[in-house]
A and B are shown apart, each in its own frame.
Chain A
Amino acid sequence: MLIQKPAMPGVAPQRVPIVELRNIHVAFGGVRAVAGVTLDLYPGEVVGVVGGNGAGKTTLMRTLSGARPPDSGQIFVNGQPVTIGNPRDAKALGIETIYQTLALADNLDAPANVFLGREVTSAATLNDAAMESATRKVIGRLNPNFKNFKTPVLRLSGGQRQAVAIARAIHFNARALIMDEPTAALGPAETAQVHALIRQLKSEGIGIFLVSHDIHDVFDLSERISVMYHGKLVGTVNKNDVTTDEVLGMIILGKPPTKLTQQELAELHG
């Protein structure tokens, strides 16, 4: 069976998804950006979320990160229905996001960015030393060469900025991680670092939604791949059951592999 049915609570009693998005709808004015999408994510797995530009994958992820609450649909965390009305709600549920833009305050230093919105205080004042200490630890894990803890992140390299954004997501014991194009702006060495990190996080039991346009990255890292096309879910497939061409077919033509003709496949392979 190629196309999975979304796991319903009760159907797989031994494993409860960390996150389940059910029948999510988002519209911008008259444009239906996400129309009835259902996805789930289990502990310790990476689910690749792929699709062309405007397929709705970032919008879908933003409903989970609290940046744009859905117009309708339900979100379950550990089997419990939840309401995520803003980013704070998502973080409280252990859902962290690394945005494609990184969402850093460029004028602040790394510790201030890592703890933005969750500052450590003592006697009602910011405890910068404690935040810097924690930041040194978590970034040291990601990039041992990182030294600029007191400079505005504006002056850091792309890889270092990425490290700050990742540190912010993993420092607070995330259970689910959304990574939106995490390697799009990185060089080969830094990309390899991020890949290693994703594998490590996976082994720690964190579930990851990996949003990417790079089909090879996704095949490399994911267990399952969900393909979106014009706001709808084409399907979710197990990586081992499909070829890259078949996934490309889903992305470009919006058809599940069973409905692809040999001719279409041949054209995709070009």
Chain B
Amino acid sequence: MGATVPGEASAEGAPARSFLTTISSALAPVTGVVRSLEIDTRMLGMIGALIVIWVSFNIVSGGTFLTARNLWNLSVQSASIAIMATGMVLVIVSRNIDLSVGSMLGFLGYTMAMFQAVWIPQSLGLGFEQPFTWVLTLVIGIALGAAIGGLQGFIVAYGGVPSFIVTLGGLLVWRGLIFRYAQGQTIAPLDTTFQMLGGGTVGTRVGALGEWPSWTLGVVMCVAIVYVMISSRRRRRRYAFPVRAIWAELLVGAVTCGAVLGIVLVANSYPLPVNVAIQYAEEHGIAIPPGGLFIPTGVAFPVVIMLIVTLVVTFLATRRRFGRYVYAIGGNPDAAALAGINVRRTIMLTFALMGSLAAVSAAVQTARLNAAVTNLGVQNELDVISAAVIGGTSFSGGIGTVPGAILGAVVMQSLRSGMVLLLVDSPTQDIVVGIVLVAAVGLDAVVRRRVN
């Protein structure tokens, strides 16, 4: 590589600058490849960081990090933060913030628990364990979440009160309401079908897809990915626009589908717990083989929910006018207004969406605990905002992606989970996550300054 020589030669004179020059010239062929792949470089950087984190933890922990069991748990733990992070991206992109998501989650989780454990069975006299209980609870929870999120959004958009203040108030109000009405009580147990949303097990029922449905999900997703790629390529062709090189198209498709199927493979490599498996085998008349019984767990329901939420919010953000307006408002609120966009309504809707996603996460978390406790979701707002920011969402507005936020949530949860494996205490975990948060955003700022 002749290009790196001048960089090295000047290294003695101006070390810092020439170091970067050397790196960028050495990376020249790589950046060429990246450009023809047309992938967000920040996204690639995050995937790279995630791989580094995973491999490092695996080495340091003596091979316990990259196991099906740990990765399955990691996926479940990431899900509830990731679900909310998708909505937080849109809130932050439109130059707002929602500090109330943790308290909303607690309030909504508590309300949903009351619904299925008290109001539906007792107050309405419909009895416990009705087949519709979980759906009704979830629908009411999501509607209530949209309403209280929308109320905060209304005050922000139409009342002109800064979102930081409104949602700081919300953080106190929703949490206060829980304490006021719960009187310290824990609401449990929950409807057994509802509990499946958390990914746990009740008897022989498991909150996961199982082996073949997981594969089906994986294949369906791959088909969908390929379909979207082909149709968008066709559309660009129809207008005679430049398209990606065919090798780049194939590579991106293969890697994406490979990742999806890889996730399914990992989830299917995680067996059901022994006692659950034995009970399941007895109920279904399966003979237990001498080597022990291996029943694949499959993709956990919280992860399935996260995937659905990701698809829906990504669709809203990139394929609908609503999303375009959110980004336009973030880029230049005055321009958005002058273009005739209803800025206030759009902002209110982002908060309503955030509230409904807090309800979805509340369902996952309460279902997983099989209870609603008064401190449910405490400090979740910090994790959710961190996930969005690590995932490349900019506080100056207009920049951020939903898949980025999902990756951000996985990066954060990987750090925590890895440190738990290494028996790092909780305060130290906080210190590390805090440093990583600042470092990630700082690095991003430096890189962006160089690019512009």
Chain A residues 1 to 36 lying within 8 A of chain B, measured CB to CB, are none
Are the CB atoms of A97 and B324 closer together than 8 Å?
Answer: no
Tell me the complex Cα distance, A218–B235, Å.
45
Residues of B within 8 A of A103 (CB): 332, 334-335, 338-339
Contact (Cβ within 8 A) B341 A117: yes
- Shortest distance between the CB of A152 and any CB in chain B (Å): 8
* Closest residue of A by beta carbon distance from B238: A129
Tell me, in angstroms, the Cα distance from A116 to B336 when the chains sit together: 8
Find out whether the CB atom of B239 lies under 8 angstroms from the CB atom of A112.
no
In the complex, which residues of chain A have a beta carbon less than 8 angstroms from the beta carbon of B328?
A: 105, 108, 112, 116
Q: Which residues of B have CB within 8 Å of A119?
A: 321, 324
Report how far A119 CA is from B232 CA in the complex, Å.
18
Assess whether A87 is in contact with B337, with CB atoms less than 8 Å apart. Answer: yes
How far apart sit A132 and B321, CA to CA, in the bound complex (Å)? 16
In the complex with contacts A87-B340, A108-B327, A132-B239, A125-B335 CB distance below 8 A: no
Q: Say whether A195 faces chain B, with CB atoms less than 8 Å apart.
A: no
Q: Which residues in window 137-178 of A have CB below 8 A to B?
A: 155
* Contact partners of A130 in chain B: CB under 8 A: 239
Tell me whether A105 and B336 are in contact in the complex, defined as CB-CB below 8 angstroms, given that A116-B328, A119-B321, A132-B241 are known contacts: yes
**Does B398 count as interface, using CB distance less than 8 angstroms?**
yes
Q: What's the least CB distance linking A14 to chain B, in Å?
A: 34
Does B319 lie within 8 Å of A91, measured CB to CB? no
- Closest residue of chain A to B341 (Cβ to Cβ) is A117
* Residue B450 CB within 8 A of the other chain: no
Contact B331 A107 (CB under 8 A): yes
Which A86-136 residues sit within 8 Å CB-CB of chain B? 86-88, 91, 97, 99, 101-108, 112, 116-119, 121, 124-126, 129-130, 132-133
A186 contacts chain B at the CB level, 8 A cutoff: no
Q: Which of B241, B320, B321, B335 is within 8 Å of A105, CB to CB?
A: B335
Q: Quick check: B239 and A129 within 8 Å, CB to CB? A: yes
> Across the two chains, which residue of chain A brings its CB closest to B330?
A107
- Interface flag for B183 (CB, 8 Å): no
B235 interface neighbour in A112, A121, A129, Cβ under 8 Å: A129
Q: Which of A105, A124, A126, A129 has the most CB of B within 10 A?
A: A105
Asked if B399 is at the interface (CB within 8 A of a chain A CB), the reply is yes
Question: Given A126-B320, A126-B324, A88–B340 Cβ distance below 8 Å?
Answer: yes
Q: How far is the CA of A65 from the CA of B340 in the complex (A)?
A: 10
A106-B332 contact given A86-B340, A91-B340, A129-B235, CB 8 Å threshold? yes
Q: How far is the CB of A81 from chain B (nearest CB, A)?
A: 21
Shortest beta-carbon distance from A175 to chain B in Å: 17
Q: For residue A67, which residue of chain B has the nearest CB?
A: B338
Nearest chain A CB to B389 CB, angstrom units: 17
Chain A residues with CB under 8 A of B319: 125-126
Cβ contact within 8 Å between B341 and A116: yes
Per the CB 8 Å criterion, the residue count for chain B at the interface is 29
Q: How far is A132 from B324 in the complex, measured between Cα atoms in Å?
A: 15
Which chain A positions have C-beta within 8 A of B238? 129
Which residue of chain B has the shortest Cβ distance to A90 in the bound complex?
Answer: B340
Most chain A beta carbons < 10 A, residue from B232, B324, B327 = B324
Is B236 positioned at the interface, with any CB of A under 8 Å from its CB? yes
Within the complex, the shortest CB–CB distance from B28 to chain A, in Å, comes to 20
B123 within 8 A of A: no
A155: which of B321, B327, B399, B452 is its contact (CB, 8 Å)?
Answer: B452
Q: Which of B241, B334, B335 contacts A116 (CB 8 A)?
A: B335
A72 to chain B, nearest CB (A): 23
Q: Given the known A-B contacts A107-B399, A112-B328, A129-B239, are A117 and B320 also in contact in the complex, defined by CB atoms under 8 Å? A: no
- Asked whether, in the complex, the Cβ of B340 is within 8 Å of the Cβ of A112, the reply is no
**A129:B241 contact, CB within 8 angstroms:** yes
From A65, A66, A124, A133, contact of B239 by CB (8 A): A133
For B235, B241, B330, B331, which residue has the most chain A Cβ atoms within 10 angstroms?
Answer: B331
Find residues 387-443 in chain B having any chain A CB closer than 8 Å to their own CB. 397-399
Mask of B208-238 contacts with A, CB within 8 angstroms, 1/0: 0000000000000000000000001001101
State whether A116 and B327 are in contact (beta carbons under 8 Å apart), knowing that A126-B320, A126-B321, A132-B239 are contacts in the complex. no
Closest to A124 in B: B320
Say yes or no: A106 contacts B398, CB within 8 Å.
yes
Q: B236: which A residues are within 8 A, CB to CB?
A: 129
A117 to B324, CA, bound (A): 9
Q: Select which of A99, A107, A118 is within 8 A of B338 by beta carbon.
A: A99
| Chain B residues within CB distance 8 Å of chain A | 232, 235-236, 238-239, 241, 315, 318-321, 324, 327-328, 330-332, 334-341, 397-399, 452
Listed by A's residue number, 23 A-B pairs whose Cβ atoms lie within 8 Å are A87-B339, A87-B340, A97-B338, A102-B335, A103-B335, A104-B335, A105-B331, A107-B327, A107-B330, A107-B398, A107-B399, A108-B327, A112-B328, A116-B328, A116-B336, A117-B339, A117-B341, A118-B339, A125-B315, A126-B318, A126-B320, A126-B321, A130-B239
14 new A-B contacts, CB < 8 A, other than A87-B338, A125-B315, are A66-B340, A86-B340, A105-B331, A105-B335, A106-B398, A107-B330, A107-B398, A108-B331, A116-B324, A116-B339, A117-B340, A124-B320, A125-B319, A130-B239
